[in-house]
Amino acid sequence: MSQIDRRTFIKALAAASSASALSLPSLALAKTKAKVVVIGGGYAGATAAKYVKLLDKDIEVTLIEPNQIYVSCPLSNEVVVGHRDIKTLAVGYDGLKKRGVTVLHDLVTGVDRAKKVVSTKGGKKLAYDALVMSPGIDFQYTGIEGYTEALTEQFPHAWKAGPQTLLLKKQLEAMPDGGVFVIVVPKGPFRCPPGPYERASLVANYFQHHGKKKSKVIILDANDSHSKKGLFNQAWAKLYGWEKEGLGTNGMIEWVKGAEGGGVTKLDAKTKTVSSDFVDVKADVLNIIPSHKAGKIAADAGLTGAEGNNFEKGWCKVEPMTMASALDANIYAIGDSCVAGEMPLYGNPNAAFDMPKSAHIAMTQAKVAAAAIVAKLNGLPTPEPYYANTCYSVVGDDYGISVAHLYRVVNGTFKYIPEGSGVSMTTMPDKSPVPAIYRKLEAEYADGWLRNVIADAFG
């Protein structure tokens, strides 16, 4: 597979430019000993490392990742409510090693962009021809008075999967019937845009199955709308008695938007009470998701905060054709730490928004970066990029919903393709209700998707 893929890839690249077709095959066949270093072994970094190797096995690839085991954030909400064993989300790096990737379990301490050298805590210095920057996100614990990093042990975010996921699960299980489970959602952009609402759905599902039907999930949201809103509201009405927005409704799930006091600014840790300008809510389980920025390594390397609108503050801006950093042509910034493109934000076509921070889009960014790196290191023209997203949310028993996004690069800028994008149907084309099999299939696809993305990135 890798041999075929590589040969046809290089052939296709050469054929893409008639000027280069005659002169480049000798280059393409020459043994390149270029070096690619990948920082961060999440979905983005693992995929980039694998696909560089698949496309040109003669390139040396080193992946630097402190952890021995990666735990998938996608579908970790199923772990919180006991539908899934956390083991099914865990994957190691043996698959990448078998493909010839050198995996270094170490922590990056610095990137010397002038000398093109990465330094690690373990004292290693790695030279690179191309660097893939995929450190993921870091949390900002500012913005909520009384909230600190240490309090995440008491009020778990469970927004990086692992011990935090299991802590939230334990707190949910210990919560008595009639309790209030509060989810505090930060101002976007945050990773996994539908994640908080999927979590709310599954927690309500847990209440139904575990004798806690008097309990509530309250979402305090700093934003005024959210991903797949129509579909979530439809599912909540069908499954969890959802009536309307705001506090004090009869349904199991209550959602308070930013404009109506959803943006939490204060925490009283002693009484587990969160407050905004408009509301105070006392929680039994308090799940605070802190706001996000690009991983510290990317910021320390000076790749974030590119000049531009507020939206780009704290994130890595990229070149659409290649995913190369707008600030350094030798560094490719992919995954949750980058800001890429514009798309309509939840029904408002005028609002600028970047590609959603999802594992799926991170992997297609990684594949674009891998192809661009291999082309560049072989002296071949940049291949045409494609970016796609698919994101499933499981919201109840046999009930899944999804969103798809497609992007192309047109005249050097990201172009969101609405014809190739969209959410699951809320009604059939003739306005009749969507048959249950559609929802069941999408719940099953969520599991198939998970297995395949893990295998495609790490296998």
Binding site for another protein (CB under 8 A): 1, 4-5, 8-9, 12, 16-20, 51, 321, 360, 363-364, 367-368, 371, 379-388, 390, 402, 404, 406, 408-412, 415, 417, 419-422, 424, 429, 438, 441-442, 444-445, 447-453, 455-456, 459
Chain Cα centroid distance, residue 447: 17
Query: What is the dihedral sign for C-alpha 198, 200, 205, 210?
Result: positive
CB of 254 to another protein, least distance (A): 29
Helix (H, G, I), strand (E, B) or coil at 352: coil
Encode burial over 279-291: b for 16+ CB neighbours within 10 A, e otherwise.
bebebbbbbbbbb
DSSP 318: B
Residue 238 vs 415, nearer CB to another protein = 415
DSSP 382: P
- Give the separation between CA 312 and CA 444, rounded to whole angstroms: 36
* Size of the chain, expressed as the number of residues it contains: 459
The single residue listed with the structure tokens 């975010």 is 157
Chain Cα centroid distance, residue 195: 10
- Give the separation between CA 412 and CA 332, rounded to whole angstroms: 16
- Give the separation between CA 148 and CA 288, rounded to whole angstroms: 11
- Give the separation between CA 113 and CA 128, rounded to whole angstroms: 10
Residue 247 vs 388, nearer CB to another protein = 388
Q: Which own/partner pairs from 29-35 qualify as long-range (CB within 8 Å, at least 24 positions apart)?
A: 31/58, 32/56, 32/58, 32/59, 32/377, 32/378, 33/58, 33/59, 33/60, 34/59, 34/60, 34/129, 34/130, 34/377, 35/59, 35/60, 35/62, 35/126, 35/127, 35/128, 35/129, 35/130
Residue 100 vs 146, nearer CB to another protein = 100
The answer to whether 186 touches 289, Cβ cutoff 8 Å, is yes
Residue 104 vs 355, nearer CB to another protein = 355
For the record, the structure tokens of 183 come out as 């989810």
Residue 152 vs 364, nearer CB to another protein = 364
Phi and psi at residue 323, to the nearest 5°: 70, 15
Integer CA distances (angstroms), 250 to 230, 253, 261, in order: 19, 8, 19
CB of 448 to another protein, least distance (A): 3
CB of 375 to another protein, least distance (A): 10
Residue 313 vs 440, nearer CB to another protein = 440
Is the preceding peptide bond at 435 cis, omega within 30 degrees of 0? no
Residue 62 vs 390, nearer CB to another protein = 390
The H helix count followed by the E strand count for the chain is 12, 26
Residue 82 vs 379, nearer CB to another protein = 379
Residue 311 vs 445, nearer CB to another protein = 445
CB of 439 to another protein, least distance (A): 8
Residue 18 vs 350, nearer CB to another protein = 18
Residue from 156, 222, 148 nearest 185 by CA: 222
Residue 282 vs 408, nearer CB to another protein = 408
CB of 41 to another protein, least distance (A): 17
According to DSSP, the residues that pair with 389 across neighbouring strands are 405
Residue 56 vs 312, nearer CB to another protein = 56
